[in-house]
Amino acid sequence: MAYQLDEEEQLILATVKKFLEQEVAPVAAELEHRNEYPTEIVERMKEINLFGANVPEEYGGLELSYTLFAMIFEEISRVWMGLAGILGTHTVLCDVLARFGTPEQKQRFLPLLARGEKRGAICLSEPQAGTDLQAIRTTAERRADNYFINGSKMWITNGRRGEMLLILAKTDKEATPVYTGMSAFIAEKGEPGLTISRDIDKLGYKSLETCELLFEEFRVPAENLIGGTEGAGFKQVMTGLEAERLNVAARGLGIARAAFEEAIRYAQQRRTFGKPICEHQTIQIKLAEMATKIEASRLLIYSAAEKKDQGERCDLEAGMAKLFATETAQECALEAMRILGGNGYAKDFPVERYYRDAPLLIIGGGTNELQRLIIARNLLKKYALNPV
């Protein structure tokens, strides 16, 4: 690993690991199977300042490097990926606000977000617009000192319990190109016109809500237009999603690690034909491939995070990391289930949970089909025969 943690970073990571092992791991399976929101665990996450992970120190946050940020998401997901979801969209909102918010917006909102007093959700996807955000239909019309938002948003993680919303909407429906007519807002719940219509029942990713939100003349003060300028919302959100791809990639690494560790432990205990199954060549090949892909995922993630820490764009690197690490998570979860056999399919073992959680990472944060297009587009720029 090229990146070396300093003493303070080592302490932060050790604190997170201790919290996860002592307070989360013993109850994760039970809460997940009951689809129960981990209220007490979230309160402890506030106490150790996890909600301020990427908030600047001047606003009460930890202002972690993106590399340490990724390591924390890896460790959380290795124990329980649902917790990473509670934190993930919150950190995207914090990232967008810290980068593009006006001084007044930062001063007003970031300290609350850093303390976890208000938690964030991002309202981007719609029933007909997920991967293609330029196809959104939600509008924001300015009248005097307020915007009024109308439309619907789908697949909103933390949509019910999140108190602050990052909303992407069209402020100019006739703009060309389309993205130049899109603006981003930070909205606080409490105004009439917002309906949480339903919680979506999911295969995995349990214990935190994923909702459909309906907006009908939902009022947002003009001062909550992020950056104070219309038409910049799409670029602001895309920059935030770059960081999200890193955290989603790190979640994939966490699940892959958990599945591998469960598989290699079981393979040394389970015996068939007179010897532990880890001595069978077929099982050894599976374990070797899992471990190799896990290590490759880690290096891709740290490479992308290092570039972002240096203030550079990392679309290509983050896309590669997200693609490879999440596909690795899916593969490792399946291979672990096969190594455990019937036990891998039983709820008595955690592998079935990894198997249900992993597919979300292939779909969420921009589908892996989209990641391939992003990677190819950036490669063509990087290796252009006639650079512009």
Let me know whether 298 and 207 are in one domain: no
Region 329-351: what's the mean pLDDT? 97
Report pLDDT digits (tens) over 60-70: 999 999 999 99
Average pLDDT of the chain, as a whole number:
95
Let me know whether 150 and 78 are in one domain: no
Let me know whether 243 and 362 are in one domain: yes
Let me know whether 340 and 376 are in one domain: yes
Q: Residue 87 half-sphere exposure, CB side, CA atoms within 13 Å? A: 34
Report pLDDT digits (tens) over 164-200: 999 999 999 999 999 999 999 999 999 999 999 999 9
Per the structure, the complete domain to which residue 108 belongs is given by 7-115
Say which range, 16-20, 218-222, 315-319, has the weakest mean pLDDT. Answer: 315-319
Let me know whether 195 and 300 are in one domain: no
Q: From 79, 97, 115, give the residue that closes a domain.
A: 115
Q: Is residue 2 part of a domain?
A: no
Please, which pLDDT band fits residue 218 given cuts at 50, 70 and 90? very high
Q: From 197, 231, 265, give the residue that closes a domain.
A: 231
Q: Domain with 37 in it: what CATH number?
A: 1.10.540.10
Q: How many domains does the chain have?
A: 3
Let me know whether 162 and 257 are in one domain: no
In order of 67, 249, 325, the CA distances from 1 in angstroms are 11, 17, 17
**DSSP secondary structure string for all residues of 55-113:** S-GGGT-----HHHHHHHHHHHHHH-HHHHHHHHHHHHHHHHHHHH--HHHHHHHHHHH
The residues that bridge with 186 in the sheet, in sequence order, are 166
Handedness of CA 350, 1, 305, 328 (dihedral sign): negative
Region 134-146: what's the mean pLDDT? 96
Q: Is residue 1 part of a domain?
A: no
Among this protein's residues, is 244 annotated catalytic?
yes
Let me know whether 219 and 151 are in one domain: yes
pLDDT at 313: 85
Q: Residue 1: pLDDT above 90? A: no
Q: From 216, 231, 246, give the residue that closes a domain.
A: 231
- Structure tokens, 369: 């089909």
Query: Which of the following is catalytic: 209, 212, 244, 306?
Result: 244
Let me know whether 282 and 349 are in one domain: yes
> Percentage of residues in the chain with pLDDT exceeding 70?
99
Rounded CA-CA distance 370/248 in Å is 14
Q: Domain with 307 in it: what CATH number?
A: 1.20.140.10
The residues that bridge with 129 in the sheet, in sequence order, are 126
Place of tokens 């509008």: 139
Nearest to 158 by CA among 37, 19, 322, 45: 37
Let me know whether 266 and 339 are in one domain: yes
- Tell me, what amino acid is at 77? S
pLDDT at 131: 81
Report pLDDT digits (tens) over 70-92: 999 999 999 999 999 999 999 99
Q: Is residue 387 part of a domain?
A: no
Rounded CA-CA distance 257/335 in Å is 12
**DSSP secondary structure string for all residues of 111-130:** HHHHHTSS-EEEE--BTTBS
- 128-137, 181-190, 378-387: which has the highest mean pLDDT? 181-190
Q: Is residue 240 part of a domain?
A: yes
In the chain the first and final C-alpha atoms are separated, in Å, by: 35
Let me know whether 296 and 367 are in one domain: yes
Q: Domain with 137 in it: what CATH number?
A: 2.40.110.10
Let me know whether 242 and 376 are in one domain: yes
Report pLDDT digits (tens) over 219-260: 999 999 999 999 999 999 988 888 899 999 999 999 999 999
Let me know whether 369 and 253 are in one domain: yes
Rounded CA-CA distance 59/187 in Å is 19
Q: Is residue 150 part of a domain?
A: yes
Please, which pLDDT band fits residue 388 given cuts at 50, 70 and 90? low
* pLDDT higher at 183 or 131: 183
- Structure tokens, 386: 């006639």
Place of tokens 């994760």: 28
pLDDT at 2: 56
Rounded CA-CA distance 150/185 in Å is 13
